Amino acid sequence: MDLTTQVSYEGGTDLTWLRSDHGISSGLVRMLDISKFTSGVHYDANTKVLKSGIALAKITASGLYGPYDTTASDGRQTTLDSFLLYEQGLLLENGATSTQISAPVIRHAIIVPTSLPVPAQRAGGASDVTTAATGGQYVFES
């Protein structure tokens, strides 16, 4: 687990995937396994910032979390646990990318699936969150 200081990130967070602020104040923290996230899909290849709104699921063997993915075989295909609440920088001060980070998540929300940042997790995508078994309580609206 990386406990070294990360480079500060001064970007904005796109929360258009949330219909309202309902549930934000009752967020939780999850440890993310960064090796499960894909550059250019889950985070910007240049800035190394994870996108807000990524659907997350638990990796059975490690207990860490990665992106919900129905094609995975490590536990992430079974139950959608939460959504990444805010953008998270992955760069360490030395320029390396973190291997694990602690990040805020939301488990109770009204979600606009068409506005989620990962196309495969949107309604009709390969890992459609609207049809997933969930560990949280979500309302999916159009």
pLDDT of 10 strictly over 80: no
Residue 108 in any domain: the answer is: yes
Residue 1 in any domain: the answer is: no
Could you give the number of structural domains in the chain? 1
Residue 65 in any domain: the answer is: yes
DSSP 115: G
- Band the pLDDT of 13: cuts 50, 70, 90: confident
Residue 8 in any domain: the answer is: no
Give this prediction's pTM: 0.89
In Å, how far are 3, 70, 71, 83, 113 from 125, measured between CA atoms?
A: 35, 10, 12, 16, 10
Please state, as a whole number, how many other Cβ atoms lie within 10 Å of the Cβ of residue 1. 9
Query: Could you report the per-residue pLDDT of 27-78, keeping only the tens digit for each?
Result: 899 999 999 999 999 998 899 999 999 999 999 999 999 999 999 999 999 9
Residue 84 in any domain: the answer is: yes
- The residue range of the domain holding 95 is 24-140
CATH number at residue 134: 2.40.300
User: What pLDDT sits at residue 21?
Assistant: 87
Residue 132 in any domain: the answer is: yes
Residue 70 in any domain: the answer is: yes
Residue 15 in any domain: the answer is: no
